[in-house]
A and B are shown apart, each in its own frame.
Chain A
Amino acid sequence: MNNTDTDIFTLNKAPKRTLDIVNQSLARRYRAERRFRRYGLGAIILSLCFLSILFISIISNGHTAFQQTFIQLDIFFDPEILNREALATANYSGLIQKSLRSVFPEVKSRSDKRLLYGLVSSGASFQLRDLVLRDPKIIGKSRTVWVPAGDDVDMLVKGQSERNAPEGERRLKDKQLMWIDRLSHEGNIQKRFNKTFFTAGDSREPEQAGIWGAVVGSFLTLVVTLVLSFPMGVAAAIYLEEFAPKNRWTDLIEININNLAAVPSIVFGLLGLAVFLNFFGLPRSAPVVGGLVLTLMTLPTIIIASRSALKAVPPSIREAALGVGASKMQMVAHHVLPLALPGMLTGTIIGMARALGETAPLLMIGMVAFIVDIPGSFTDPATALPVQVYLWADSPERAFVEKTSAAIIMLLGFLITMNAAAVILRKRFERRW
Chain B
Amino acid sequence: MSSTTLLFLLLTLSVIGYFLGRQRAYAVASNVSGIRDLHSRPTYYGALVAIWCGIPALLLFGFWLAFEDSVIIHITIGSLPAELRDLPDDRLNLFINNIKNLVSGNIVSGKVSPEMQAAAEHYRNLKSISSAALAVIALSFTIAAIAVVRSKIRSTLRARNQVERAIKYILIACSTIAIFTTIGIVLSVLYEAIRFFQVIPVTEFLFGLEWSPQMAIREDQVGSSGAFGAVPVLVGTALISVIAMAVAVPVGLMSAIYLSEYANKRFRAVAKPLIEILAGIPTVVYGFFAALAVAPFVRDAGSLLGLDVSSESALAAGLVMGIMIIPFVSSLSDDFINAVPQALRDGAYSLGATQSETIKQVILPAALPGIVGGVLLAVSRAIGETMIVVMAAGLSANLTLNPLKTVTTVTVQIVTLLVGDQEFDSPKTLAAFALGLLLFVVTLLLNVIALRVVRKYREQYE
Contacts and interface: CB of A to CB of B under 8 A. Distances in A.
Interface string B56-75: 00000000001101100100
Nearest to A353: B280
A389 interface: yes
B164 A47 contact: no
B202 to A, nearest CB: 19
24 contacts: A22-B352, A33-B357, A40-B258, A44-B258, A47-B255, A47-B330, A50-B278, A54-B285, A54-B286, A236-B171, A236-B175, A239-B172, A253-B178, A255-B448, A258-B447, A263-B384, A264-B443, A271-B181, A271-B184, A299-B178, A329-B164, A389-B285, A393-B284, A405-B288
Interface stretch (A91-99, A104-112, A407-415): A407-415
A126 interface: no
B310 interface: no
A157 B299 CA distance: 29
Contacts of A386: 282, 284, 387
A364 B411 contact: no
A274 B189 contact: yes
Contacts of A238: 171
A266 B255 contact: no
A386 B387 CA distance: 10
Given A43-B254, A258-B451, A262-B377, A30 B354 contact: yes
A153 to B, nearest CB: 23
Contacts of A303: 178
A270 B189 contact: yes
Contacts of A275: 184, 188
A47 B439 CA distance: 29
A125 to B, nearest CB: 24
A267 B447 contact: no
A393 B188 contact: no
B167 interface: yes
B168 A329 contact: yes
Interface of B: 66-67, 69-70, 73, 160, 164, 167-168, 170-172, 174-179, 181-182, 184-185, 188-189, 191-192, 250-255, 257-259, 261-262, 271, 274-275, 277-278, 280-289, 291-293, 323, 326-327, 330, 352, 354-357, 359-360, 377, 380-381, 383-387, 390-391, 411, 414-415, 418-419, 424, 432-433, 436, 439-440, 443-444, 447-448, 450-451
A66 B287 CA distance: 22
B285 A236 contact: no
A244 interface: yes
A47 B251 contact: yes
A146 interface: no
B392 to A, nearest CB: 10
B289 A57 contact: yes
A339 interface: no
A372 to B, nearest CB: 15
- 8 tightest A-B CB contacts, nearest first: A264-B384, A40-B258, A357-B282, A274-B188, A43-B254, A36-B356, A235-B174, A239-B171
A259 interface: yes
Interface in A212-265: 231-233, 235-236, 238-240, 243-244, 252-253, 255-260, 262-265
A262 B381 contact: yes
Interface residues on A, range: 35 or more
A41 B160 CA distance: 60
A312 interface: no
A372 B450 CA distance: 45
A194 B168 CA distance: 54
A393 B291 contact: yes
Contacts of A329: 164, 167-168
B179 A256 contact: yes
B381 to A, nearest CB: 7
Given A57-B293, A364-B418, 17 more contacts: A29-B354, A40-B258, A44-B259, A46-B251, A236-B174, A253-B175, A253-B176, A256-B179, A256-B182, A262-B443, A267-B436, A270-B189, A271-B184, A296-B181, A359-B283, A364-B414, A393-B391
A346 to B, nearest CB: 14
Contact of A327 (B164, B262, B275, B326): B164
Contacts of B70: 280-281
Contact of B280 (A364, A387, A415): A415
B419 A363 contact: yes
B175 A53 contact: no
B179 A253 contact: yes
Contacts of A357: 280-285
Nearest to A54: B289
A51 interface: yes
Contacts of A35: 356
Contacts of A364: 414-415, 418-419
Contacts of B450: 262
A35 B354 CA distance: 12
A116 interface: no
Nearest to B282: A357
A40 B252 CA distance: 9
B188 to A, nearest CB: 3
B356 A266 contact: no
Interface in A283-342: 296, 299-300, 303, 327-329
Contact of A408 (B177, B285, B354, B433): B285
Residue of A329, A387, A412 with most partner-chain B CB within 10 A: A329
A138 interface: no
B277 A51 contact: yes
Given A44-B271, A259-B451, A278-B424, A243 B418 contact: no
A387 B415 CA distance: 13
B257 A40 contact: yes
B275 A48 contact: yes
A300 B391 contact: no
A48 B327 CA distance: 11
B191 to A, nearest CB: 7
B325 to A, nearest CB: 11
A264 B387 contact: no
A360 interface: yes
Interface string A29-66: 11011011101111110111011011001100100000
Nearest to A389: B284
A368 interface: yes
A330 to B, nearest CB: 8
A12 B277 CA distance: 58
A69 interface: no
Contacts of A265: 384, 386
Contacts of A394: 391
B188 A327 contact: no
A259 B171 contact: no
B444 A263 contact: yes
A416 to B, nearest CB: 8
B140 to A, nearest CB: 26
Residue of A42, A271, A278, A387 with most partner-chain B CB within 10 A: A271
B171 A235 contact: yes
A33 B359 CA distance: 10
Contact of B359 (A36, A47, A256, A270): A36
Contacts of A252: 179
A67 interface: no
Contacts of B282: 356-359, 386, 411, 415
Interface in A368-414: 368, 386-387, 389-390, 393-394, 401, 404-405, 408, 411-412
Residue of A57, A262, A303 with most partner-chain B CB within 10 A: A262
Contacts of B285: 54, 58, 357, 389, 408, 411-412
Contact of A363 (B289, B357, B377, B415): B415
A344 interface: no
A269 to B, nearest CB: 8
Nearest to A327: B164
Contacts of B175: 235-236, 239-240, 244, 253
Contacts of B184: 271, 275
A270 B164 contact: no
